Amino acid sequence: MVRIAVAGASGYAGGEILRLLLAHPEVEIGTLTAGGNAGSRLGEHQPHLLPLADRVLAESTAEELAGHDVVFLALPHGRSAEIAAQLPADTVVIDCGADHRLADAAAWERWYGGEYAGNWPYGLPELPGAREKLRGATRIAVPGCYPTIASLALAPALAAGLVETEVVVTAVSGTSGAGKTPKPHLLGAEVMGALSAYGVGGVHRHTPEMVQNLSAAAGRPVSVSFTPVLAPLPRGILATCSARTTASAAEVQDAYAKAYADEPFVHVLPEGVWPTTAATLGANTALLQVTVDPDAGRMIAVGAIDNLTKGTAGAAVQCMNLAVGLPETTGLPVTGVAP
Amino acid sequence: MVRIAVAGASGYAGGEILRLLLAHPEVEIGTLTAGGNAGSRLGEHQPHLLPLADRVLAESTAEELAGHDVVFLALPHGRSAEIAAQLPADTVVIDCGADHRLADAAAWERWYGGEYAGNWPYGLPELPGAREKLRGATRIAVPGCYPTIASLALAPALAAGLVETEVVVTAVSGTSGAGKTPKPHLLGAEVMGALSAYGVGGVHRHTPEMVQNLSAAAGRPVSVSFTPVLAPLPRGILATCSARTTASAAEVQDAYAKAYADEPFVHVLPEGVWPTTAATLGANTALLQVTVDPDAGRMIAVGAIDNLTKGTAGAAVQCMNLAVGLPETTGLPVTGVAP
Amino acid sequence: MVRIAVAGASGYAGGEILRLLLAHPEVEIGTLTAGGNAGSRLGEHQPHLLPLADRVLAESTAEELAGHDVVFLALPHGRSAEIAAQLPADTVVIDCGADHRLADAAAWERWYGGEYAGNWPYGLPELPGAREKLRGATRIAVPGCYPTIASLALAPALAAGLVETEVVVTAVSGTSGAGKTPKPHLLGAEVMGALSAYGVGGVHRHTPEMVQNLSAAAGRPVSVSFTPVLAPLPRGILATCSARTTASAAEVQDAYAKAYADEPFVHVLPEGVWPTTAATLGANTALLQVTVDPDAGRMIAVGAIDNLTKGTAGAAVQCMNLAVGLPETTGLPVTGVAP
Amino acid sequence: MVRIAVAGASGYAGGEILRLLLAHPEVEIGTLTAGGNAGSRLGEHQPHLLPLADRVLAESTAEELAGHDVVFLALPHGRSAEIAAQLPADTVVIDCGADHRLADAAAWERWYGGEYAGNWPYGLPELPGAREKLRGATRIAVPGCYPTIASLALAPALAAGLVETEVVVTAVSGTSGAGKTPKPHLLGAEVMGALSAYGVGGVHRHTPEMVQNLSAAAGRPVSVSFTPVLAPLPRGILATCSARTTASAAEVQDAYAKAYADEPFVHVLPEGVWPTTAATLGANTALLQVTVDPDAGRMIAVGAIDNLTKGTAGAAVQCMNLAVGLPETTGLPVTGVAP
């Protein structure tokens, strides 16, 4: 059994990690920690995690987290680096925050401020070359939710040289992506019935992560125009991604079919079927479809994930499986909860 | 008093026209008609229209609709032309369907099939040159909901030559835009919790309407890559629109401020404030904001409307006001119902 | 023109009062105040109130509120009494809070704590004897949202002696009723997809207000078992109310038809049609239906309102109309925004 | 391995059975059938069931369903009896419809019409005496969703003689309970933002099932006043149930704690914590809390389930486990998907 700890267990990412691990056959759930909620019962914050309801949350310190095989860090940005540095080198540390995602120190400092903490193996195994670095790794950076689906949706076309390198991404997201800290604009009465754009004009922090992934896939610099939109649902991201192309629909569909033929969690849908986030709820699944608009001269790729599962916690568990040598799909649901 | 009739009164567009006209001080509501619902009481279909609950729906024929100053047609595409042809030339006929929106007969036949019915003055008064053609008009084509907000969001930049002519539009919509005919994928259990793209790859019928409007604004051909997304709310469209630019944010913001300075229903928001559909619910209001992403070299314009109000019925009443010589804003709400 | 001020203009009740008053033909909107939001622009908090977007919020003090014909207080419970005491006796003060709703000082102190501030005319004109006390009144207590619909739904049967005096009320509400102060359990991600009971077992503060109203209607003590339920929509309350009866459905329906025959805002629906909150969105309308279950020996009355309109702000404006001598329906919408 | 077939695989109940069985370690999924959708791929109707996407649906006939260890019937009411009669006596037939739920032939004919098909062991193992009849059974009637939660919420108090026998149940439900057949009032645009009562006055068909279960628990006739309410969420039922009592809160809480102490799927929450449907999404879990309102003299019990899981498909799988001799909890999730 793999003994695990979760830091940030009272938040959305931490809760989803625990939901998945409760169904994981090879895991034993150890210490759970929190920030302001330390000292309280998990059941107060995560009423759905019934088997863990009476667990008392410890403080999020390296001392509390030590002594586990795997430590999941589901902490606010900028909080992971310090704790990780104090954990033993042979403990598998899986960071769901942004601290170790970017390879470019200058980019990190421009977008996040503060001191750059370094770059860890990037936890999107479906990207070219990524899976090998994750096998047996002891430090893993889980991708952001938007970069996960944008990268999956665009990488095959860029890698195959089928599209130009200026891409446009509009991604619509449920509100759990904004976290559990209460703010007026995230109140239910505000978000139900509302669609709103935010972080417009290239200022969202997930932009450089997309640039990094897509440039690597293309083998040359890619520019990303990214607009996130908030929509009234708890979970789910639907990304519409496009780029100029002279290829045919059949050519791009063929490239996607080949790129993901052996992937257990990425499904290129049958021709004419377009992704819906509803089919991914609670599953570690990405759904993709792609076509070409010959009038506009653009390829359009659409991808759907659950931002908390494949977009965060499912990816984290998938990475854990790779890190500790379990089959990659262990304990991870493929079928969403629908309707 | 202007005496009006509404064909298609049991549908969403017809219901919204009646909701607005019930609050309009210069209108008397005459005959209401329907297709399959003819013979039933309006209250069975529109429980919110209490003052008209006992009205019995007549058949949607020219005979029933004759004898009014203004006839609103809220009928399925392809049904308006025949009825309109039988109404007197001096009756103001306002078509909420697509039959008379396109100036290009070949485009109409490509996208809608069947015989082209001709082109009427286009009911988006805020487009350059449009208002003049609507004053005193007796035949008016109300725009589609997506073309309304995409055109308002992109026309000023194209007219000022600030952006290139290949534009990308991703527009997220509430489900009332899909109409009231029951289909499995529109069931509440299906759409709540779901984001899904449809009509991807330039195949949505609103695409040629955007091309027409934006090409006119630019004074040269514009290509439009349009992706509609369905989201779980009854009403509202949020459009994110972008195009390559070398202009600065200040330049484009200035162009939008000037373009809409005197428009009562189009609001360019203060710098840093981005539109939300929630603020437009039930109002004939379009909210806009625009910026430039210098890294990506693109202008991004975001617009929000209520698809049933400014996107359909509000535009229809605004056009009626122009057609019959009333002040353009008569009876039209500017403030949305929020939260 | 009636010159008005609103204290608490950045909250939900204050915002709805302003939305209604912007469409009121006899009102001039004066000072707007807030607590923690004083000093900021209204547009930051109420993006839908476009005509007032640039108004700067003053402090909620009697000095700022003085000099108006009517002052609306939309403040947290316990804050109204002090301000009201400092306003001139001939200023019409309309309190949307709970400070002046209960006639029984002991009940007030039991349920709200603190010092009893006294009892003002109760702003539910449709209750027997209420309207007369509101005409020309200078101090008015607007009812709570749940008591509004529970009282309307049960008073006729109790007044006619058709039911026993132990009543059961389960009322489902949208989340705007919980206010705009951000709390974790009110986050969009929490409330969407969730139904939850709260204040169960007679501990909700609206219980004594129902007891007061229904006992007055019955002419003898009534007990109320009240359970509120939170549901995923911004606005709307649906109350299901029942009591033992030996009367027939026809008898109770007749009593309701008579009780509300002349009421402009209370609609007893045609037989077999049951209320939906959707038809009341943004309207000052209450929808009612009633029947008898002979197997269970109970009358069931169901009522629907918009908690922010007829449940709060619409009632406040209706009361203002009565207080200042305007026609009671002036400026108040009857048709909801649907779908 | 238990070889199973599902009739009605394209509907909501059938889809949920398959979702659960895909995660069940002892099951092999055989024939899938449908009515009007026979001949099409399952993936067209259930996009979340990715591993079964290419399965072609057979006709719902006894011939197609024969040859399996267990047959799940998820068919419209009145369709199960005929098919079941043609299946071998040693095949386990689990009927999710209403055909075999009522022991009283006259009640069945009053509420459902047509010919009474007989009474099968009732699939709510947590009711007194129920589990024994399900072990090794070859015919099982799965309860209705509302009776499931109302029975769980009221049986302990009635069995212990702590409350009077006239009970009042108001149960709020998500819209998947209404099924997948498209009807105008179930459209997303209609149900989002709407709360509506239906089947009011004791006319809902689940009423006699509650009467049957609760009378059995009480050991004497119980009357049930049942009002169902539709709310805007896909899944979930929250039932508020009450009855007159002279007992104390501690007495009733103690009775519930004892009644469900050993039940793996029924959780009586800690004092002061009230159920939310969000915690049960996709789980075979019922959450309960109970208190007494001494002013009103009533006990109030509140229960939450997912109508498609513990309310239908989860119960069906739980019954299958009992019927075929597997541990009762095999393959059934306890933790919901939240937020």
Report the residue of C192, C230, C337 to disrupt the A interface, i.e. the one with the largest count of A CBs within 10 Å.
C192
- Rounded to an integer, what is the distance from CA D80 to the centroid of its chain? 16
A182/C175 Cβ within 8 A: no
Quick: pLDDT tens for B33-70: 999 999 999 999 999 999 999 999 999 999 999 999 99
- Nearest neighbour of D186 by CB, restricted to B178, B187, B232: B187
The segments of chain D whose pLDDT lies below 70 read none
Q: Which residues of A touch C232 (CB under 8 A)?
A: 188, 192
Sign of the alpha-carbon dihedral angle for D117, D123, D128, D131: positive
Structure tokens at D62: 């006894």
Distance from CA of A247 to the nearest CA of B (A): 13
> Is B288 in contact with B258 (CB distance < 8 Å)?
no
Question: What is the C-alpha separation between B170 and B191, in angstroms, rounded?
Answer: 19
Q: What CATH code is carried by the domain that includes residue A42?
A: 3.40.50.720
Question: What is the C-alpha separation between C131 and B196, in angstroms, rounded?
Answer: 51
Q: Supply the angle between the helices B145-159 and B207-218 in degrees, to the nearest 10.
A: 20
Do C296 and C318 fall within a single domain? Answer: no
Do C62 and C152 fall within a single domain? Answer: no
Q: Which residue from B minimizes the CA distance to A172?
A: B195
C189/A192 Cβ within 8 A: no
Residue A332 inside a domain? The answer is no
User: Cβ of D294: how many Cβ atoms within 10 Å?
Assistant: 13
User: According to the model, what pLDDT value does residue D114 have?
Assistant: 87
Q: Which residues of D touch A23 (CB under 8 A)?
A: 333, 335
Task: Give D297's contacts (C-beta < 8 A, 6+ positions apart).
Answer: C166, C223, D244, D245, D246
D202/C293 Cβ within 8 A: yes
Report the residue of D173, D240, D281 to disrupt the C interface, i.e. the one with the largest count of C CBs within 10 Å.
D240
Structure tokens at B311: 């996107």
- For D297, list phi and psi in degrees, rounded to 5: 70, 35
Cis peptide bond upstream of A184, omega within 30: no
ipTM: 0.96
Residue B222 inside a domain? The answer is yes
The segments of chain C whose pLDDT lies below 50 read none
Structure tokens at C267: 């609609």
- Nearest neighbour of A234 by CB, restricted to C12, C186, C193: C193
Domain region containing D223 = 146-305
Residue C301 is inside which H or E element, if any? Answer: strand C298-305
Task: Give A195's contacts (C-beta < 8 A, 6+ positions apart).
Answer: A172, A229, A230, A231, A232, B172, B174, B231, B233, B236, B237, B238, B276, B277, B278, B304
HSE-CB for C105 with a 13 A CA cutoff? 4
User: According to the model, what pLDDT value does residue A78 have?
Assistant: 85
Cis peptide bond upstream of A143, omega within 30: no
Question: Where would I find the beta strands (DSSP E) of chain D?
Answer: 2-7, 27-34, 58-59, 70-73, 92-95, 139-141, 163-173, 196-197, 223-230, 237-245, 266-268, 286-293, 298-305
Question: What is the C-alpha separation between A308 and A304, in angstroms, rounded?
Answer: 12
Do A68 and A173 fall within a single domain? Answer: no
Cα distances (angstroms) measured from residue A53 to each of A10, A42, B210: 11, 5, 54
Do C50 and C71 fall within a single domain? Answer: yes
User: Cβ of C111: how many Cβ atoms within 10 Å?
Assistant: 18
Quick: pLDDT tens for A182-233: 999 999 999 999 999 999 999 999 999 999 999 999 999 999 999 999 999 9
Cα distances (angstroms) measured from residue B215 to each of B107, B132, B266, D145, D273: 14, 19, 21, 56, 60
Task: Give D88's contacts (C-beta < 8 A, 6+ positions apart).
Answer: D66
Do C131 and C163 fall within a single domain? Answer: no
> Is B336 in contact with A193 (CB distance < 8 Å)?
no
> Is B239 in contact with A161 (CB distance < 8 Å)?
no
User: How many beta-carbon pairs under 8 angstroms link B with C?
Assistant: 89
A193/C175 Cβ within 8 A: no
B183/D189 Cβ within 8 A: no
Pairing of strands C266-268, C223-230: unpaired
From the list A116, A87, A112, the residue with the least C-alpha distance to A103 is: A116
Catalytic member of C96, C145, C241, C319: C145
Cis peptide bond upstream of A339, omega within 30: yes
Active site residue C145: yes
Question: What is the C-alpha separation between B60 and B8, in angstroms, rounded?
Answer: 7
Q: Which residues of D touch B193 (CB under 8 A)?
A: 234
Distance from CA of B132 to the nearest CA of A (A): 32
3-state SS of chain A: helix, strand, coil percent to 5?
A: 35, 25, 45
Residue C331 inside a domain? The answer is no
Distance from CA of B252 to the nearest CA of C (A): 22
Average confidence score pLDDT of chain A: 97
Q: What CATH code is carried by the domain that includes residue B257?
A: 3.30.360.10
Percent of chain A with pLDDT over 90: 99
User: How many beta-carbon pairs under 8 angstroms link A with B?
Assistant: 177
Q: Which residues of B touch A294 (CB under 8 A)?
A: 202
Q: Give ∠ CA D149-D152-D155 in degrees, rounded to 5.
A: 135
> Is A281 in contact with D234 (CB distance < 8 Å)?
no
Pairing of strands D286-293, D298-305: antiparallel
DSSP D56: B
C183/A189 Cβ within 8 A: no
Residue C335 inside a domain? The answer is no
Question: What is the C-alpha separation between C301 and C289, in angstroms, rounded?
Answer: 6
User: According to the model, what pLDDT value does residue A42 have?
Assistant: 98
**Which residue type does B9 have?**
A
Quick: pLDDT tens for C128-138: 999 999 999 99
D293/C201 Cβ within 8 A: yes
Structure tokens at D2: 């238990």
From first to last of its 339 residues, what are the pLDDT tens digits of chain B? Answer: 999 999 999 999 999 999 999 999 999 999 999 999 999 999 999 999 999 999 999 999 999 999 999 999 999 888 999 999 999 999 999 999 999 999 999 999 999 998 999 999 999 999 999 999 999 999 999 999 999 999 999 999 999 999 999 999 999 999 999 999 999 999 999 999 999 999 999 999 999 999 999 999 999 999 999 999 999 999 999 999 999 999 999 999 999 999 999 999 999 999 999 999 999 999 999 999 999 999 999 999 999 999 999 999 999 999 999 999 999 999 999 999 999
**Coil, helix or strand at residue C205:** coil
User: According to the model, what pLDDT value does residue D77 have?
Assistant: 84
Residue D249 inside a domain? The answer is yes
Sign of the alpha-carbon dihedral angle for C298, C299, C305, C308: negative
Do B137 and B161 fall within a single domain? Answer: no
Residue B7 inside a domain? The answer is yes
Do D38 and D110 fall within a single domain? Answer: yes
pTM for the full model? 0.97
- For B20, list phi and psi in degrees, rounded to 5: -70, -40
Q: Identify the contact set of chain A against chain C, taking CB-CB distances under 8 A.
A: 12, 174-176, 178, 180, 182-184, 186-193, 232-235
Distance from CA of C187 to the nearest CA of D (A): 10
Q: Which residues of C touch A13 (CB under 8 A)?
A: none
User: According to the model, what pLDDT value does residue A254 have?
Assistant: 98
| List of chains touching B (3+ CB pairs within 8 A) | A, C, D
Q: Which residue from D minimizes the CA distance to B236?
A: D189
From the list C317, C302, C334, the residue with the least C-alpha distance to C237 is: C302
> Is D338 in contact with D279 (CB distance < 8 Å)?
yes
Quick: pLDDT tens for B252-292: 999 999 999 999 999 999 999 999 999 999 999 999 999 99
Instruction: Indicate which residues of D carry an active-site annotation.
Output: 145
Distance from CA of D22 to the nearest CA of C (A): 24
Distance from CA of D113 to the nearest CA of C (A): 18
Question: What is the C-alpha separation between D314 and D291, in angstroms, rounded?
Answer: 28
- For C151, list phi and psi in degrees, rounded to 5: -70, -45
Question: What is the C-alpha separation between A76 and C235, in angstroms, rounded?
Answer: 33
Do A159 and A174 fall within a single domain? Answer: yes
* Domain count of the fold of chain B: 2
| Burial class of D9 by CB neighbour count within 10 A (0 to 12, 13 to 18, 19+) | buried
B193/A339 Cβ within 8 A: yes
Do C164 and C129 fall within a single domain? Answer: no
| List of chains touching A (3+ CB pairs within 8 A) | B, C, D
Instruction: Indicate which residues of B carry an active-site annotation.
Output: 145
- Rounded to an integer, what is the distance from CA C231 to the centroid of its chain? 18
A334/D51 Cβ within 8 A: yes
- Nearest neighbour of A196 by CB, restricted to B200, B274, B297: B274
Cα distances (angstroms) measured from residue B299 to each of A199, A253, B126, C244, D207: 14, 29, 21, 66, 60
Do A301 and A318 fall within a single domain? Answer: no
Q: Which residues of B touch C287 (CB under 8 A)?
A: 47
Residue B125 inside a domain? The answer is yes
Question: What is the C-alpha separation between B216 and B101, in angstroms, rounded?
Answer: 14
> Is B149 in contact with B304 (CB distance < 8 Å)?
yes
Pairing of strands A70-73, A92-95: parallel
Task: Scan for tokens 């860029």, then name that residue.
Answer: A158
User: According to the model, what pLDDT value does residue B77 have?
Assistant: 84
Pairing of strands A237-245, A266-268: unpaired
Do D126 and D191 fall within a single domain? Answer: no
Do D87 and D154 fall within a single domain? Answer: no
> Is D42 in contact with D57 (CB distance < 8 Å)?
yes
User: According to the model, what pLDDT value does residue D103 have?
Assistant: 97
Question: What is the C-alpha separation between A76 and A78, in angstroms, rounded?
Answer: 6
Q: Which residue from A minimizes the CA distance to B197?
A: A274
| Burial class of A39 by CB neighbour count within 10 A (0 to 12, 13 to 18, 19+) | exposed
Burial A147-173 (b: 16+ CB within 10 A, else e): bbbbbbbbbbbbbbebbbbbbbbbbbb
Residue C18 inside a domain? The answer is yes
